[in-house]
Amino acid sequence: MIARVLDVCDAVANLINREWGPTAPDAVTSEDFIPELAVDTITGRKVYVMPSQYGQAEVLDRASDLNEYRITIIIVEKYTVANGPTNTWVRNLMLFVQDQIYDRLMNHRDEPVMEDLMPESGSVTPYDYEMLVEAKMFVSEVEINFQKVESI
């Protein structure tokens, strides 16, 4: 199952990359499982996609299971202008998270992220207040739980 959840992370990162189309130094990655969130090293907007949980949700019958694959997406951007983050800057980043990440991945009517893998549930932490105030860095976290019926 770990191979499957890593494939889901890659598919989600590819979808975000395709929809958002970041240019350097902005980036999307599913290859960094220990993102460096140090204020001194962050440049641009970074989107990290990583596995957070997977397993069998339910036995459907003798030949198939309902499996779940939960991923975590961390969105980070450092405020680089003098004084401190503005409400407009924070609001625009929260809208980015909503529009480009959460809404796109939770859309049940759009094509699946990967084969017939569909989003079951999701949640958003809009921003980390302490990181914003103390480090002038926007950090938001999105969790999406995907499910798929799989033959055993």
Residue 71 CB: number of other CB atoms within 10 A?
A: 26
Q: Produce one character per residue of 126-142: b if its CB has 16 or more CB atoms within 10 Å, e if not.
A: ebbeebbeebbbbbbbb
Question: Which strands make up the sheet holding 27-29, listed edge to edge?
Answer: 27-29, 45-61, 64-78, 137-151, 118-125
Round to whole Å and give the CA distance between 99 and 145.
18
Round to whole Å and give the CA distance between 22 and 98.
16
The answer to whether residues 66 and 147 touch, using CB atoms and an 8 Å cutoff, is: yes
Q: pTM of whole model > 0.85?
A: yes
Q: What rounded mean pLDDT belongs to the chain?
A: 90
pLDDT digits (tens, 9 = 90+) for 119-142: 999 999 999 999 999 999 999 999
pLDDT digits (tens, 9 = 90+) for 53-76: 999 888 899 999 999 999 999 999
Q: Where are the alpha helices (DSSP H) in the chain?
A: 2-20, 87-96, 103-106, 129-135
Q: What is the reported pLDDT for 115?
A: 75
